[in-house]
Amino acid sequence: MRIEQLQSFLAVADTGSFQAAARQCCVTQSTVSRQIQSLEAQLGLSLLRRHDRAKLTLGGEVLLPHARRICQEWKAVEDDIATLRAGKQPELCVAAIHSVCAYRLPGVLQRFIQTYPQVQLRVTALGSDRSLKVLRDGLVDVAIVMDNRFLTANADMVVDFLYSEPICVLVAADHPLTQQEAVTWADLSRYPQVLFKDGYGMQRLVQERFSSQGLPLNVVLELNTLDAFRGVIRQGNCVALLPESALSEARGDDRLAVLPLAEAANERDVVLVTTRDRLELPPIAHFRDLVLEAFPNQGRPEAGGGRRTPTGQRS
């Protein structure tokens, strides 16, 4: 059963004429006749008496109220889809890592509001892995996160590289490590570590780096705010590994010191992730364009930087 068959049936029932129904449906009279005949064949009953004026049979009388409800629901669906295609969705939900929310995203949000003032923006600061989970669950439209190929290796995912940034060491200003020009992973293994909580990409990165070096990782505390990191690190000999963009306030605090890591390639990649179907909606596609404009691509083509296509390849 197709919606066009029901629409033709209703048109004949309302006008009493196949010819008038054809004009109302903007099709030929023979098309209306075929659609009604096909509907009758599917239902196994006659729906119309075909005399000078078409009248409903008993089967047609039973079908009529159901056909009206179905066509009304279909019209509501068409209207809602047209609203989405016109960029009139009620809200756009974004999940992003804390440093992006604090320092890089506000300008993008202001530009988006100017173009789509009717779309309510909802922005949530979450860890990278948690952000990707809520994106997959359909709770947000866009995630700006630390790259995790295990969670984005899906043909439905669209992943755009934004930038890379170094990982640095945060310590108290009088910490013994401040006497060194650069810090190695072996140096870090001698001190208690403060990490982001589970669900944050930085926790996964730190754990993977210590594991790959074959070094012990002594975690004494897990936190989820930069203020908390700074407060804890000021008090003793703990160390924290944090991305450079999260350390701007720490660099201005004379009770803290930010140290470089000695080994090369100690960086994290930050990406924008959404899905193919969401990019069919104008507000989401526009938001993505604004983010790509605001985050100049600092990719490392030889090292895997650049924009990735929905199949996971770099372009």
Domain ranges of the chain: 3-85, 91-163+270-303, 165-267
Average pLDDT of the residues in 14-24: 87
Chain centroid to CA 208 = 26
Do 256 and 250 form a contact (C-beta atoms < 8 A)? yes
Highest mean pLDDT (candidates 17-26, 34-43, 146-155, 284-293):
284-293
Give the class (CATH, top level) of 91-163+270-303. alpha beta
Per DSSP, helices labelled H in 3-160 are: 3-15, 18-25, 29-43, 58-85, 98-99, 106-115, 128-136, 149-152
Name the more confident of 151 and 140. Answer: 140
Do 312 and 156 form a contact (C-beta atoms < 8 A)? no
Which pLDDT tens digit goes with each residue over 214-271?
999 999 999 988 899 999 999 889 999 999 988 989 999 999 999 998 875 588 899 9
Could you give the CA distance from residue 22 to residue 208 in angstroms, rounded to a whole number? 68
Supply the CATH classification number for the domain 3-85: 1.10.10.10
Same fold, 3-85 and 91-163+270-303: no
Residue type, 70: I
Supply the CATH classification number for the domain 165-267: 3.40.190.290
For CA atoms 237, 235, 268, 164, give the dihedral sign. negative
Question: How crowded is residue 76: how many other Cβ atoms within 10 Å of its Cβ?
Answer: 10
Average pLDDT of the residues in 116-139: 91
Could you give the CA distance from residue 194 to residue 210 in angstroms, rounded to a whole number? 14
